[in-house]
Structure 1
Amino acid sequence: MARRVDLNADLGEGCGQDAALIQILTSANICCGLHAGSPAEMAHTMRLARDAGLGIGAHPGYDDRANFGRTRCQLAADDLRDLIRYQVGAAKSVAAGFGVTLEHLKLHGAMANMAAEDAEMAEICYRAALEVEPAMRLMTIAATAQQEAAEAIGARWIGEIFADRAYRDDARLVDRSEDGAVLHDPQEAAERLVTMITEGAIVARSGKRIAARIESICLHGDTPEALEMAREIRSRLSTAGIDLMKPD
């Protein structure tokens, strides 16, 4: 029996490959205009995603444009809540203008990595987002504190793995400052994904298997090989009898 999985990418960040990627993906995590992009970029990307029938999600991050939202910031809980509410509110309004709703939330960059380590922080982010759009599902980095937080608040969540990132033995991502943290070979990435989906486990850099609920695959739109990688992933998954479609 064929298995099903979603293929998503972080879009609306001004990386120039969005229109082509949208024709391959099943879901789009659209930048809310702070860590990158702009209101116009968010609207343009959301329109393309809507027209292609993709699942549309809000992709909030730190207000850190100079570092693409990849620098860790320490914010008070109230400031973090306000930052999330502002971005999800903006994305919700743009989506409504196009006659669609936000289907999921996915945290970006340093914010996501910190929430994968700290369930309390993840819960603050998730509760704030759901206050703005209660119907969203939470796209969580599988088998991390993000998933723990989503389960603790009784939210609907989607277990996500990464096509283009290496994993530590605790299911967190290898820091981008380390060699080999980002995968660039589309064939290697696709092969690893088939293994992970077939085994129902994250494959760490060490070879360790970490059991995980895998419902979505992410690749980063700013990775130079993103388009080639997306095509290879789609082809390899199809050959392996794994269907691509957005989450129910």
Structure 2
Amino acid sequence: MASIDLNSDVGESFGRWTLGDDSAMFESVSSANVACGFHAGDPSVIRATTAKAAQAGVVIGAHVGYRDLAGFGRRFLDVDPKELADDVVYQIGALQALAATAGTRVKYVKPHGGLYNAIVKHTAQAQAVVDAVKAVDPGLAILGLPGSEVLRLAEKSGLRPVTEAFADRAYNPDGTLVSRTLPGAVLHDPAEVAQHVLRMATERRIMAIDGTILNVRAESICVHGDSPGAVAMATAVKSALSDAGVSIASFA
């Protein structure tokens, strides 16, 4: 693999509450999943984040989620599909407007947290997300786990499905992410994370939490911006990929 996209969740501060160092993350990643106000982010944070991303030459994507600020969007919500579709349209539209003020535009959509995990198997919610994206802009790609319902439905609807892997998350033997409620779900050691990503990018493999080796074909790899030591992990990943002759470039 000559190149790989690195994406990161950004713009997740809110009001006086600050989360992550987005500017530092932009030095290592090629795509930015910008929170759209439902799980995190507010208009001022979103506008400033899109401006910084544009200045750094980083591609912008809409990080849409459940309307759940209190739970940071990580809890499953049994939302009516029509309501969910409207919420996704609303979030994409808000980011499109704020990105335009920075002279840039939204090029893809990546669901967040509880919604991301739900639409791996939840067909109705997955279809709602796909319908919303297609209604706003059929040219937008959708990021998701390999083999997920949302990517199957995206491709069926004529949207571009983009497979994603995670640099700092542990995997179950079935290819799903280990729940954050379980020990070992999140990786913190920069060297371990770098090797995890290098295996994904060069061998197209992931080691599951039980030692099982999984085959994965990921077009994008996520390094979470809100994790402790996120910047150090992103820097280590960028360095490891560079040393292996793998360049970092957006898929969009």
Q: TM-score range by the shorter chain?
A: over 0.9
With over 3 angstroms needed to count, the CA separation of the structure-2 counterparts of 1:226 and 1:197, relative to structure 1, is same
Mean CA deviation greater in 201-210 or 113-122: 201-210
8 Å CA contact 1:190–1:236 kept in 2: the answer is yes
Structure 1 residue 139, shift from structure 2 partner: 1.2
Cα distance in structure 2, aligned partners of 1:193 and 1:220: 13
With over 3 angstroms needed to count, the CA separation of the structure-2 counterparts of 1:145 and 1:203, relative to structure 1, is farther
Once superposed, what is the RMSD of the aligned Cα atoms? 1.4
8 Å CA contact 1:84–1:128 kept in 2: the answer is yes
Aligned to 2:168: 164
With over 3 angstroms needed to count, the CA separation of the structure-2 counterparts of 1:154 and 1:124, relative to structure 1, is same
Cα distance in structure 1, aligned partners of 2:184 and 2:98: 37
Cα distance in structure 2, aligned partners of 1:12 and 1:104: 16
Aligned to 2:11: 12
Structure 1 residue 167, shift from structure 2 partner: 0.7
Mean CA deviation greater in 170-179 or 147-156: 147-156
- TM-score normalised by structure 2 residue count: 0.93
1:153 partner letter:
S
Deviations 1:204-248 (A, max 9, x none): 212223333211110111101110000000001111111111114
1:152 partner letter:
K
Matches within 5 A, 1:108-127: 108-127=112-131
User: What is the aligned counterpart of 2:102 among 98, 102, 116?
Assistant: 98
Aligned to 1:64: 68
Cα distance in structure 1, aligned partners of 2:170 and 2:55: 33
Matches within 5 A, 1:45-60: 45-60=49-64
How many percent of aligned residue pairs carry the same amino acid?
A: 39
User: What is the aligned counterpart of 2:196 among 192, 196, 199?
Assistant: 192
Deviations 1:33-86 (A, max 9, x none): 111111110100000001111111000111111111111100011111111011
Question: Unaligned regions of 5+ residues in structure 1, if any?
Answer: none
Question: Unaligned regions of 5+ residues in structure 2, if any?
Answer: 14-18
Aligned to 1:81: 85
Cα distance in structure 2, aligned partners of 1:71 and 1:159: 23
Cα distance in structure 2, aligned partners of 1:237 and 1:247: 16
Counterpart check, 1:247 vs 2:224: no
1:160 partner letter:
E
SS in 1 for 2:119: helix
Cα distance in structure 1, aligned partners of 2:6 and 2:208: 20
Structure 1 residue 154, shift from structure 2 partner: 2.6
Cα distance in structure 2, aligned partners of 1:24 and 1:145: 30
SS in 1 for 2:164: strand
Cα distance in structure 2, aligned partners of 1:127 and 1:235: 39
Deviations 1:20-44 (A, max 9, x none): 1112211100000111111110100
1:8 partner letter:
N
Deviations 1:3-27 (A, max 9, x none): 2101110000011311111122111
8 Å CA contact 2:88–2:129 kept in 1: the answer is yes
